[in-house]
Amino acid sequence: MSKVISGFSRLDKSQKINWLAEHYFNDSDIAKSILKQYWNEDEKLQKLHDEFIENTITNYYLPLGIAPNFLINNSVYTIPMAIEESSVVAAASKAAKFWYDRGGFKTKVISTTKIGQVHFMYHGNHDHLVSFFKSVKPLLLKDAKPLTKNMEKRGGGILDIELRDKTNEINGYYQLHATFETKDAMGANFINSCLEQFANTFNTEAQKFDDFSETEKDIQIVMSILSNYVPECLVRAEVSCNVEDLTENENISPTEFANKFIQAVNIAEVEPYRAVTHNKGIMNGIDAVVLATGNDFRAVEAGVHAYAARNGKYSSLTHASVENGVFKFWIEIPLALGTVGGLTSLHPLVKLALEMLNKPSAEELMQIVAVAGLAQNFAALRSLTTTGIQQGHMKMHLMNILNQFEATDSEKNALVEHFKTNTVTHSAVVKAIENLRR
């Protein structure tokens, strides 16, 4: 039977599920039951979720956890984290407690500039284009005024527009490179609207510019779009303490721990294979908070990884040093976030997450998110350089394995107790379950 369908988007949710179950699942009744199980009983709330995206059939749940005891710039935070991976929330919480007793996290926003570009092709005289841009720039700003008026009232708006010559990379390729301040909004829609207005004005005025020949007036606008690479929207987070206060592990001295920790960071700075995994751990913390607060974790991921390769080689996002007996660990990272607009004003759990964080501004949220990433990385490197990563991770993963084998509550209690003193591996858990069930 054909799986091609016309008018799918016009079907209601039940009809979509029925079609899907009929064509794609061996047991359509089980599939329907599972999909409908995740519908929200509150019809108003379910309708809200249905309208976030297109062709919805159900909700896809992720656990929302919290990591308490984060001391950031002398204020205590409990940080919400939406993530499915075992040990991430526990690791962040452990790092928060460790640094709470050592002065906490210090943060600052370095810059908040965001970027958008109008990409266009022009094959005429370069000097003519430069002259045209200088004459049209004031009009670009003037024509965008209806779009920028409200943003300017909040202290934001268009910062500048530059003409950039990229013809050494693609023949005839130029940009209008614009910078923006969007305050507490992430600003994607605002930026894109401004860029499209720039493009319209630029194209229209080119037809009237006296120095252009008829062929030079034929400027081809390729696209107008914001960039998720925001190297000038930067935040810094750091921790520091005297080396002798650094470790609570009786099996390794504070000095040895500091040296191994710094070497681990240095390896991630020079070895891309390690740096990718190193930075993935950082993003465990960052993405979880970005998702919990209704921000775009995909945009953040893309921008962060581009930043990690900004010097031509992919490298660590974090850095560490010891100077005059003081250990320092820090991160500088680009984060374009918002606390108004989008899901922040729609999703009930996002509203609660932001309230949990005392309704932060975008700059405050940047600092909280950077801290989550730094804490996650500290916890991971601390485990790697002392006990090894698997000991803690596998104990956190134990419950997932037990659920795979449909362990009862009594079996879970017995096996959790057993693995307090035994190494957790998948095969060891399987063997322990089999022995218990005998």
CATH code of the domain in which 149 resides? 3.30.70.420
Q: Is residue 58 part of a domain?
A: no
Q: How far apart are CA 375 and CA 98, in angstroms?
A: 10
The pTM assigned to this predicted structure is 0.89
Q: Is 418 a catalytic residue?
A: no
Q: Pairing between strand 75-82 and 64-72?
A: antiparallel
Q: What is the length of the chain?
A: 438
Q: Is 280 a catalytic residue?
A: yes
Q: Is residue 412 part of a domain?
A: yes
> Do residues 73 and 367 touch, judged by C-beta distance below 8 A?
yes
* Together in a domain, 365 and 245: yes
Look up residue 357 and give its DSSP letter: T
Q: How far apart are CA 279 and CA 317, in angstroms?
A: 6
> Do residues 178 and 194 touch, judged by C-beta distance below 8 A?
yes
DSSP for 103-172, please give it. T-BEEEE----EEEEEEEE--S-HHHHHHHHHHHHHHHHHHTHHHHHHHHHTT-EEEEEEEEE-TTTSTT
* Together in a domain, 178 and 250: no
* Together in a domain, 157 and 218: yes
Q: Is residue 16 part of a domain?
A: yes
Q: Is 49 a catalytic residue?
A: no
Q: Is residue 349 part of a domain?
A: no
**Encoding tokens for residue 70?**
């984060």
- Which among 97, 177, 280, 418 is annotated as catalytic? 280
Q: How far apart are CA 71 and CA 171, in angstroms?
A: 53
The total number of structural domains that make up the chain: 4
* Together in a domain, 270 and 382: yes
Q: What is the pLDDT along the chain (438 residues), one digit of tens a residue?
A: 558 899 999 999 999 999 999 999 999 999 999 999 999 999 999 999 999 999 999 999 999 999 999 999 999 999 999 999 989 999 999 999 999 999 999 999 999 999 999 999 999 999 999 999 999 999 999 999 999 999 999 999 999 999 999 999 999 999 999 999 999 999 999 999 999 999 999 999 999 999 999 999 999 999 999 999 999 999 999 999 999 999 777 788 999 999 999 999 999 999 999 999 999 999 999 999 999 999 999 999 999 999 999 999 999 999 999 999 999 999 999 999 999 988 888 999 999 999 999 999 999 999 999 999 999 999 999 999 987 655 555 556 677 778 777 788 887 788 777 777 777 777 878 888 888 777
Q: Is 393 a catalytic residue?
A: yes
Q: What are phi and psi of 308, to 5 degrees?
A: -65, -20
> Do residues 340 and 190 touch, judged by C-beta distance below 8 A?
no
Q: Could you list the residue range(s) of the whole structural domain that residue 31 is in?
A: 8-50
Q: How far apart are CA 186 and CA 228, in angstroms?
A: 11
pLDDT digits (tens, 9 = 90+) for 207-242: 999 999 999 999 999 999 999 999 999 999 999 999
* Together in a domain, 84 and 154: no
Identity of residue 271: E
- Which among 94, 278, 347, 393 is annotated as catalytic? 393
- Which among 85, 152, 232, 411 is annotated as catalytic? 85
> Do residues 398 and 419 touch, judged by C-beta distance below 8 A?
yes
- Which among 143, 181, 287, 296 is annotated as catalytic? 296
225: Cβ contacts below 8 Å, ≥ 6 apart? 116, 117, 119, 192, 195
Look up residue 60 and give its DSSP letter: -
Q: Is residue 243 part of a domain?
A: yes
Q: Is residue 59 part of a domain?
A: no
Burial of 175 (0-12, 13-18, 19+ CB in 10 A): middle
pLDDT digits (tens, 9 = 90+) for 181-193: 999 999 999 999 9
- What does the buried/exposed string (b/e) look like for 238-264 if buried means 16 or more CB atoms within 10 Å of the residue's CB? bbbbebeebbeeeebebeebbeebbeb
* Together in a domain, 142 and 274: no
**Encoding tokens for residue 60?**
């896809």
Q: How far apart are CA 263 and CA 240, in angstroms?
A: 17
* Together in a domain, 222 and 273: no
* Together in a domain, 38 and 186: no
Give the CATH number, domain containing residue 302: 3.90.770.10
> Do residues 60 and 37 touch, judged by C-beta distance below 8 A?
no
* Together in a domain, 102 and 119: no
Residue 128: Cβ within 10 Å count: 15
